[in-house]
Amino acid sequence: MILALDFPSGDLDELLNGLRDYVVGVKVGFPLALAIGWEGIAELVSRHEHYYWIADFKLADIPDVVEHILGRFKEMGMDAAIIHLFTGHRRYETGLELIGVAGMSHPQAKLIRENFVKLLEEAELLNVMGIVVGATRPEMIREARRRLPDVQIFSPGVGFQGAEPGSALEAGASFEIVGRSILRSEDPVEAARSVVEAQRVILHGER
C-alpha cells in the first residue's frame, strides 16, 4: 500500500515509523506542502529514506518547466512524480520514475474518463513506469492492465472514497493508495494493518 500523506495529525515521524510494516511508499502533494513546506518535506524524506516517495503535484505544464520541477523533486529525495498525460510531454532525463494520470477516482472526472484509451496510449508512448487509475473504477483498471501488462498501476480511492481494500488489486492494480481512512483513524497503524489484511484475504485467501 501507498500512504497518501495529505492531512496528517500528530507526529509525522511517529506515524511513518509505526506504518513501516504495512506501507511501502508515501505520496505527498499540495496539502502537505502547504502544511509543512518544501523544506519540511525534504527533511521528512531524508529521515524516512526506506519509503518509496512519490511527489504528487500532477504536473501539467510545458516540458521545459516540468523537467525543471522534476529535477528539483529529485534533489528533494523523491523517487517518482505524478504527471498529467493530457498536456503532452517528452521523455525526461531526471532520474525520477514517472507516473501518468490515466483515470481518476472521482465521479466528475468525465473528460479524463472519455479519453481513457488515448491517455493509456500516451502513457505507452512516453514509457512511463506507472499510471494512476482510480480504485472506484475497477473496469478501467482491468482495461489498463489488459492494454499495458507491464505498467505499474496505482489506485487511489480505497476506503474514504468507497472502494474496498483489495478490490483494485484484484482488478489488476499494483498498489492501492490510501489516505484519510488511515490518517483519520484513532489508530492509524491498526487501520493500515486491517487494509493489508483485507488485501491479503482478497488476493490469497490468507489471514
Active site residues: 58
Number of residues that bind ligand BMP (CB under 6 A): 18
Contact call for residues 67 and 95 (beta carbons, < 8 A): no
The residues, ordered by sequence, that sit 6+ positions from 190 with a Cβ below 8 Å of its Cβ are none
The distance of closest approach from Cβ of residue 205 to ligand BMP in the complex, given in angstroms and rounded to an integer, is 25
Q: What is the largest CA-CA distance in the chain?
A: 49
Site membership for ligand BMP, residue 134 (CB under 6 A): yes
Shorter beta-carbon distance to ligand BMP: residue 71 or 161: 161
Shorter beta-carbon distance to ligand BMP: residue 3 or 70: 3
Site membership for ligand BMP, residue 104 (CB under 6 A): yes
The distance of closest approach from Cβ of residue 136 to ligand BMP in the complex, given in angstroms and rounded to an integer, is 8
Residue 187, classed as helix, strand or coil, is coil
Interacting residue with ligand BMP among 4, 123, 141, 195 (CB under 6 A): 4
Q: H helices within 28-134, ranges in order?
A: 30-47, 63-75, 110-114, 116-126
Shorter beta-carbon distance to ligand BMP: residue 120 or 204: 120
Rounded distance between C-alpha atoms, residue 36 and residue 203, angstroms = 37
Contact call for residues 156 and 106 (beta carbons, < 8 A): no
Interacting residue with ligand BMP among 115, 152, 161, 194 (CB under 6 A): 161
Residue 27, classed as helix, strand or coil, is strand
Per-residue burial over 151-176, b = 16 or more CB atoms within 10 Å of its CB, e = otherwise: bebbbbbbbebebbbbbbbebbbbbb
The distance of closest approach from Cβ of residue 7 to ligand BMP in the complex, given in angstroms and rounded to an integer, is 8
Within 50-79, the residues that bind ligand BMP by CB under 6 A are 56
The distance of closest approach from Cβ of residue 117 to ligand BMP in the complex, given in angstroms and rounded to an integer, is 17
Counted residue by residue, the chain has a size of 207
The distance of closest approach from Cβ of residue 110 to ligand BMP in the complex, given in angstroms and rounded to an integer, is 13
Site membership for ligand BMP, residue 160 (CB under 6 A): yes
Site membership for ligand BMP, residue 99 (CB under 6 A): no
Rounded distance between C-alpha atoms, residue 151 and residue 132, angstroms = 10
Which residues of the shown chain bind ligand BMP in the complex (CB under 6 A)? 4, 6, 29, 56, 104-105, 132, 134, 156-157, 159-161, 177-181
